[in-house]
Structure 1
Amino acid sequence: MGEKRKSQPKEESAKKARSQKHSSKDSAGKEAATAELGLSAIPYPKPVSGSSFAECTAKVTVTLAPVYSCDHWAGIHEALNNMLLHYVPQVRGVVLAYSKVKLRSDTALMFFDSPYGQLEVSARLLLWRPIAGMALKGQINVQSPDHIGMLLWDTFNASIPASLIPKDKYEWRPFNDDEIAARALPSTNQSEATGDGNGDDADVAMTGQGESDADVPASPFTSGNRYGSGEWVIKGTSQCVGSDGSLEFVVVDVIRANEVLSVTGALR
């Protein structure tokens, strides 16, 4: 009995040593995984190559009003024009243009007592069809601590929320009072820049003679990439994101609201 009692503490200490060894390995593995993901892990989608623009030939059912009974082509073009810049679920994209319109039937169908006829046509459609994982580039139009807003091809909206901006690479830097004052100077001194109103100065401003744009130093506080009360910069530096006013990002989600598409992106 005495020998058994002496062996119990040795067995318990061995079990504790093995458990501590396994726990240290697990913690080391978790730390390595966290280091690989970065300080702020962002769920980037799988990369997708190719363009966000696509073409397809689609069958479209056109509803013709009675006024177009003598000119069905006018009614067809009006119906197709109403699809432009709208999201169409049947083709899974925003219709930008159409061409090669052909009739699929010589007669229009009319149902019950409705005066409207339905005619089937086919058309070649140019679509904007963004997909998660694509790399797109947009023009910055607003920056705030909550997000970066952009415009794609001067038409579509895109937004990068702060949660999808890696905090280990970028940080928000608010403008100081001097920068805010410098950004307001060109608008207040616009009359001075264009002349004092006499004929000579007006002629110089209209003809473009005198100092060229290259001779006039551009103010860094009025460039197209500075908006609001601050800007997103590369961490540890004063270099703003999208120094030329444009910014490349990865599409994370495509949001459809009624017939309008907008894109949510993430910085890499």
Structure 2
Amino acid sequence: MSGSTPSAAQSVFDEIVATHILHLTPAHLGNLLEGAKSHLDQSLLKYSPKLQGVPLCYGKVELAKYMPTPGAVHPPEDLGTPSAAILFDNPCIHVPVKVYWTVFTPRPGVRLLGVVNQMSREHVGLLVVNYFTAVIYAHQLEAVLKWNEEEQSWESRRTGKLVEDGQEITFEVLELLLEGPVFTIVGSLDKMLKEPVIPTKQVKSPENKKRKL
């Protein structure tokens, strides 16, 4: 295995520090952090445009400094301090929090490991890290594979070996198809990839990169 392959796999996991304004009900006044965590839990495993990926989990959550909204009334001593606000006629508490996320970020050009779970003449379907859906359409397969009508499976042009359900395939990310919080990874096989197999542990245990939003 080449030294560059693991780093390509690792690049799909980022540690991201982001600040969010959460809108909590007054029931959480007694414990804003617990209310914030309950709210953040609902964002897990859904695509986030702000994070440009899918939040898998979060670590530390901190109350952040509240920046006043034009027209809102705040005591001068409260400005710029960790706090929450009730604005206008909105009954919710507006709570700024700083969150330390671990995010799955499959950017175009990154190589991923997928496990085959569907096949047809038009595509190969895969699961990535046992959860996310990926698809490679026929025109992105045909440089490496060809359709075997008798076996109803794709096979290697080089070796004639059939692709099987449960087989691991390394592919390149082309784009993400988004439908609200749900997304599908669209990928490609090319002549350079041949048929490499990366041990699953290489993909599941990356060194995370850090960035702030």
Q: Which residue number in structure 1 is paired with residue 95 of structure 2? A: 119
Q: Deviations over 1:81-108 (max 9, x none)?
A: 0111111111111110101111114331
1:85 alignment partner AA: L
Residues 1:73 and 2:48 aligned together: no
1:191-210 paired onto structure 2 within 5 Å: none
2:178 alignment partner AA: R
Structure 1 residue runs of 4 or more that deviate by more than 4 Å after TM superposition: none
2:147 alignment partner AA: W
| Secondary structure, counterpart of 1:107 in structure 2 | coil
Residues 1:98 and 2:58 aligned together: yes
Residues 1:58 and 2:58 aligned together: no
2:154 alignment partner AA: W
C-alpha contact 1:109 1:117 (8 A) present in aligned 2 = yes
Q: Distance in 2 between matches of 1:243 and 1:145?
A: 15
Choose the corresponding residue for 1:85, options 45, 53, 56.
45
Task: Give 1:245 deviation, angstroms.
Answer: 1.1
C-alpha contact 2:126 2:133 (8 A) present in aligned 1 = yes
Q: Which residue number in structure 2 is paired with residue 180 of structure 1? A: none
Q: Distance in 1 between matches of 2:91 and 2:157?
A: 65
Q: Distance in 2 between matches of 1:174 and 1:98?
A: 46
Greater gyration radius: 1
C-alpha contact 1:241 1:247 (8 A) present in aligned 2 = no
C-alpha contact 2:122 2:138 (8 A) present in aligned 1 = yes
2:29 alignment partner AA: S
1:1-268 paired onto structure 2 within 5 Å: 49=8, 50-105=10-65, 106-167=82-143, 169-175=144-150, 230-235=152-157, 237-241=159-163, 245-268=167-190
- Report which of the two has the higher share of helix: 1
**What is the TM-score when the length of structure 2 is the normalising length?**
0.72
Q: Distance in 2 between matches of 1:64 and 1:102?
A: 15
Q: How many residues align?
A: 167
Which consecutive residues of structure 1, in runs of 5 or more, have no partner in the other structure? 1-47, 177-229
1:160 alignment partner AA: I
Structure of greater relative contact order (alpha carbons < 8 Å, 6+ residues apart): 2
| Secondary structure, counterpart of 1:90 in structure 2 | coil
